[in-house]
Chain A
Amino acid sequence: DAKTTQPNSMESNEEEPVHLPCNHSTISGTDYIHWYRQLPSQGPEYVIHGLTSNVNNRMASLAIAEDRKSSTLILHRATLRDAAVYYCILWAGTASKLTFGTGTRLQVTL
């Protein structure tokens, strides 16, 4: 499985934008980039995914580098409820599995 590298932790102020980086230099052409987050005492939750183009949904935006070797999850206005561990995962498609790394622990302060 191709690996991803994320910072262990990040901090943000409430209502500020947050950019969570992820490096995946060994990504293959068919790997999707998935982001999940895990709130305290809950199971992981799907956030967003992309293949080549930038993506937006109600939760976040995903910016994918042109060479696809890195991506950034963007939370446009962080709230205290966004404090969680964020996982960047490469997914090879149907019949493959999601392998979680250690993720980035995001702290949001007032």
Chain B
Amino acid sequence: DAGVIQSPRHEVTEMGQEVTLRCKPISGHNSLFWYRQTMMRGLELLIYFNNNVPIDDSGMPEDRFSAKMPNASFSTLKIQPSEPRDSAVYFCASSRDTVYGYTFGSGTRLTVV
């Protein structure tokens, strides 16, 4: 089991550019979560999916952020246009929809200059 796979590991982009972060959950897990972590705000849940359907996107900061899960093995988080304040580490996590917790990926460190 390769765990939750995120790409890229690091992304540096200029303000105004579109950024796409990718996540491959663990096979068989039917819930997927996108979190963002900054020093100021800690770990924030942005959106989560259950069986590929978005359940709660109340954490998405603004319309510049969008997330999709076209199938059970892939999800994207897109920021368009990106701004310096979007700089953070973005984590994807998946779970089997049971009490036994989430498995997190290694994260994508995004820097917007």
Say how far A12's CB is from chain B's closest CB, in angstroms.
23
Contact call B99/A32, Cβ cutoff below 8 A: yes
User: Residue A46 contacts which of B35, B55, B103, B107 (CB distance < 8 angstroms)?
Assistant: B103
- Expressed in whole angstroms, the Cα–Cα distance for A42 and B3 within the complex equals 13
- Expressed in whole angstroms, the Cα–Cα distance for A36 and B102 within the complex equals 9
User: Residue B42 contacts which of A32, A34, A45, A101 (CB distance < 8 angstroms)?
Assistant: A101
Say how far B44's CB is from chain A's closest CB, in angstroms.
8
Name the interface size band of chain B: 20 to 34
- Expressed in whole angstroms, the Cα–Cα distance for A2 and B91 within the complex equals 23
- A91 on the B face (CB < 8 A): yes
Q: How many residues of A contact B (CB 8 A)?
A: 19
- B73 on the A face (CB < 8 A): no
- A102 on the B face (CB < 8 A): yes
From DSSP, what is the main secondary structure of chain A's interface residues?
A: loop
- Expressed in whole angstroms, the Cα–Cα distance for A98 and B35 within the complex equals 10
With contacts A97-B33, A97-B56 taken as known, whether A46 is within 8 angstroms of B43 at the C-beta atoms is no
- A68 on the B face (CB < 8 A): no
8 Å CB contacts to B: which residues of A71-110?
A: 91, 93-95, 97-102
8 Å CB contacts to A: which residues of B63-113?
A: 91, 93, 97-107
Contact call A43/B106, Cβ cutoff below 8 A: yes
Contact call B101/A46, Cβ cutoff below 8 A: yes
Contact call B104/A95, Cβ cutoff below 8 A: no
Q: Could you list 7 examples of A-B contacts with CB < 8 Å? A: A36-B101, A42-B106, A91-B99, A97-B56, A99-B45, A100-B42, A100-B43
| Interface set of B (CB-CB < 8 Å, partner A) | 4, 33, 35, 42-43, 45, 48, 50, 55-56, 91, 93, 97-107
